[in-house]
Structure 1
Amino acid sequence: MNDSMNHQEKNPVYVSFCTQKGGASKSVFTTLAASYLHYEKGYNVAVIDCDYPQWSIHKMRKREAEQLQANVFYRRKAEVLFQKLNKPAYPVVPFVPEKAMARVSEFLANESQRYDLVLFDLPGRSE
């Protein structure tokens, strides 16, 4: 990993995977890219889920958290994994598309963590 990217003090790079077609696996691709970049490549990544009203990534993360709360076996496996990685899960934050940029700026300003990349999951249609 590029050391200057790892310790940057500048703004993060914003990336979106978008197409007007619904059901084109944008959420899947965003999740895969975020996980690879965060856990495998060591970048600090945040995901902004703007795919209102589905918010697929946000809902998936919520289900994962509920599963970890309900099941000691999975909770322990997650603890071991995150200790091994020495890295917490990347945040997934839901915002409506119209307000996403302003809200992302607020989110980043209030975080102690500095992010290298912010990935946006955008809706397939514009209304």
Structure 2
Amino acid sequence: MTAPDFLRLAEARRADLDMTKLALTEKAGIGRVTYDRLSNPATRPQMATIVRIADALGIDRQEAVRTAGLLNPSTPVELAEQRAHAAIAEVLQRRLSDVEPDVLARVALEMGEIMQAVASQLFQQAKPKP
């Protein structure tokens, strides 16, 4: 399974919903270029992008991720990335259960600076001890 496989699934669902591409990308909170890149077989989309599109179209997240070819990571880094994404999503949903899912998704999109600080802290912890 590849990004174009997911794009075919998404396009079929979009047609069923009679939704324009612009309406979909706005609802998913992604750029149109990002969506169009899914047509390239060499593209390895971010899981968050696939999940946002799936949510916007009412596609099951597991099906979307599997169809996009993201369930079988090929490197330890990709596996760790998948596990980290899942853990962060779970923690946000559990700890902020009173926040609407669409608001929570928007907050998650803005977490770049927070995650950079977390990464910096983790790198400091990973430095060899003298």
Q: TM-score, length-normalised on structure 1?
A: 0.33
Bigger fraction of residues in strand: 1
Bigger fraction of residues in helix: 2
Q: TM-score, length-normalised on structure 2?
A: 0.32
Bigger relative contact order, structure 1 or 2 (CA pairs below 8 A, ≥6 apart): 1
